[in-house]
């Protein structure tokens, strides 16, 4: 066997050359002959594609197996911390409830009716005036209760208050849909004032109030006997109160009440001419004359903006003081 490297001859079967040590070639029985290898190495020319037969099914698709995605790495999460005890919140809620209870008790005690008059409104919208139990009865009125006549409404209040005992009333103001009265158990002590309003064809009691006795004589102007209200006053003051009652009644258009404060000759005078003629007045003083009469001086403020000093002659008839005449004091 000739060495392909140096050309030296070597015996058959030797693996390496004895001269140069190169590997000697060995013939492989399974090797392809050189001619066949050369022929196989050259690829055949490509063949023309043939149309697929209609009856031949298409080739199945080729699937490629892919590796499954790698599993994500997990981070261990620590367990949640146990909830904190809400001791502070619970204590705050309990304290708030206790505070509300205390405030509610205080408010309730504040609104509990005492011996004085109290006005309340219930859930039905009724306005009730309650006079606490005492020497007199308890008055309860409702704006939803109407009466056919104003005297029926006034009598309902008086019957509740005086518990069936005798009573009297004094007219304070009478208008088409408004009336005001004082009620009294003995014609001298005015206990309550009662205000009535007419709505449609019915009269309703809308207010009951305690009468201030110090103002009764001045506010009277109602046809009441003034002797009881003035008997304990000085003559000068009693005469001035009579004049004041007359002027109030005239200014308010209550001419019938105004005449109850007068006597002849003023009683026969047309007092309507004075209605709306003045806005106010101011007392200057009173003096008792030798014959027992009184002269009351006051300043009149007329509606046209002028002023005038006026004198009124007041006579005493029994225990009452009545205005007899009135005129300018500047003459």
Q: Is residue 257 part of a domain?
A: yes
Instruction: Specify whether 255 is located in the same domain as 314.
Output: yes
The pTM for the full model equals: 0.35
What is the model's pLDDT at position 122? 47
pLDDT at 306 over 90: yes
Q: Is residue 256 part of a domain?
A: yes
Instruction: Specify whether 141 is located in the same domain as 197.
Output: yes
- CA pair distance 262, 247, nearest whole angstrom: 11
Q: What is the mean pLDDT of the chain?
A: 74
Domain residue limits at 304: 219-331
Q: Is residue 250 part of a domain?
A: yes
**Residue where a domain terminates, one of 193, 211, 229:** 211
Locus of tokens 């408010």: 107
Structure tokens, 84 = 């904190």
pLDDT at 111 over 60: no
Instruction: Specify whether 198 is located in the same domain as 305.
Output: no
Instruction: Specify whether 266 is located in the same domain as 294.
Output: yes
| Helix H or strand E encompassing 223 | none
Mean pLDDT highest for which of 15-24, 193-202, 216-225, 227-236?
193-202
Q: Considering its fold, how many domains does the chain have in total?
A: 3
pLDDT at 206 over 60: yes
Q: Is residue 117 part of a domain?
A: no
- CA pair distance 46, 237, nearest whole angstrom: 148
DSSP string, 152-203: HHHHHHHHHHHTT---EEEEEEE-SSEEEEEEESSSSS--EEEEEEEETTEE
DSSP 75: -
Q: Of 137-146, 276-285, 319-328, where does mean pLDDT reach its minimum?
A: 137-146
pLDDT exceeding 90 applies to what percent of the chain?
23
Q: Is residue 45 part of a domain?
A: no
What is the model's pLDDT at position 125? 47
What is the model's pLDDT at position 228? 39
Instruction: Specify whether 226 is located in the same domain as 207.
Output: no
pLDDT confidence band for 210 (50 / 70 / 90): confident
Q: Is 323 exposed, middle or buried (0-12, 13-18, 19+ CB in 10 A)?
A: buried
Instruction: Specify whether 203 is located in the same domain as 225.
Output: no
What is the model's pLDDT at position 9? 82
pLDDT exceeding 70 applies to what percent of the chain?
62
Q: List pLDDT tens digits, range 31-79.
A: 445 455 444 445 555 555 555 445 555 555 555 545 555 555 544 555 5
Instruction: Specify whether 166 is located in the same domain as 243.
Output: no
Locus of tokens 């208050």: 161
| CATH code for the domain of 263 | 3.10.450.50
Q: List pLDDT tens digits, range 156-193.
A: 999 998 888 888 888 888 888 999 998 888 755 677 88
Instruction: Specify whether 187 is located in the same domain as 239.
Output: no
CB 130 within 8 A of CB 205: no
- Give the count of beta carbons closer than 10 Å to the beta carbon of residue 39: 11
pLDDT at 126 over 80: no
Q: Is residue 63 part of a domain?
A: no
What is the model's pLDDT at position 69? 54
Burial 178-217 (b: 16+ CB within 10 A, else e): ebbbbbbbeeeebbbbbbbbbeeeebbbbebeebeeeebb
Q: Of 86-95, 97-106, 194-203, 219-228, where does mean pLDDT reach its minimum?
A: 219-228
Instruction: Specify whether 251 is located in the same domain as 301.
Output: yes
Q: Tell me which of 67 and 211 has the higher pLDDT.
A: 211
Q: Is residue 285 part of a domain?
A: yes
Length of the chain counted residue by residue: 331
Instruction: Specify whether 203 is located in the same domain as 272.
Output: no
Instruction: Specify whether 162 is located in the same domain as 233.
Output: no
pLDDT at 154 over 70: yes
- Give the count of beta carbons closer than 10 Å to the beta carbon of residue 130: 15
Q: Is residue 255 part of a domain?
A: yes
Instruction: Specify whether 232 is located in the same domain as 178.
Output: no
Alpha helices in the chain (DSSP H): 34-41, 87-111, 150-162, 213-219, 227-230, 235-251, 255-259
């Amino acid at each position: 066997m000739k060495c392909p490297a140096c050309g030296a001859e070597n015996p058959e079967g030797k693996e390496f050359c004895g001269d140069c040590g190169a590997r000697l070639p060995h013939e492989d029985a399974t090797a392809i002959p050189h001619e066949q290898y050369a022929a196989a190495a050259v690829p055949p020319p490509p063949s023309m594609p043939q149309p697929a037969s209609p009856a031949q099914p298409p080739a199945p698709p080729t699937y490629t197996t892919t590796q499954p995605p790698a599993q994500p790495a997990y981070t261990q999460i620590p367990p949640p911390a146990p909830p904190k005890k809400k001791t502070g919140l619970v204590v705050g809620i309990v304290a708030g409830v206790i505070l509300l209870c205390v405030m509610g008790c205080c408010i309730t005690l504040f609104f509990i009716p005492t011996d004085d008059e109290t006005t309340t409104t219930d859930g039905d919208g009724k306005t009730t005036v309650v006079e606490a139990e005492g020497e007199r009865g308890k008055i309860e009125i409702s704006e939803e209760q109407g009466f056919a006549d104003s005297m029926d409404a006034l009598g309902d209040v008086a019957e509740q208050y005086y518990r069936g005992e005798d009573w009297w009333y004094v007219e304070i103001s009478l208008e088409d849909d408004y009336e005001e009265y004082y009620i009294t158990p003995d014609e001298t002590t005015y206990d309550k004032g009662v205000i009535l309003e007419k709505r449609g064809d019915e009269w309703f009691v809308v207010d009951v109030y305690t009468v201030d006795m110090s103002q009764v004589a001045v506010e009277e102007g109602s046809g009441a006997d003034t002797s009881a209200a003035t008997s304990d006053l000085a003559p000068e003051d009693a005469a001035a109160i009579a004049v004041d009652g007359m002027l109030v009644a005239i200014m308010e258009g209550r001419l019938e009440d105004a005449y109850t404060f007068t006597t002849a000759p003023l009683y026969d005078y047309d007092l309507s001419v004075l209605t709306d003629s003045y806005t106010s007045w101011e007392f200057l003083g009173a003096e008792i004359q030798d014959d027992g009469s009184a002269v009351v001086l006051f300043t009149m403020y007329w509606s046209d903006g002028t002023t005038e000093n006026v004198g009124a002659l007041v006579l005493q008839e029994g225990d009452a003081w009545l205005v007899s005449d009135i005129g300018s004091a500047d003459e």
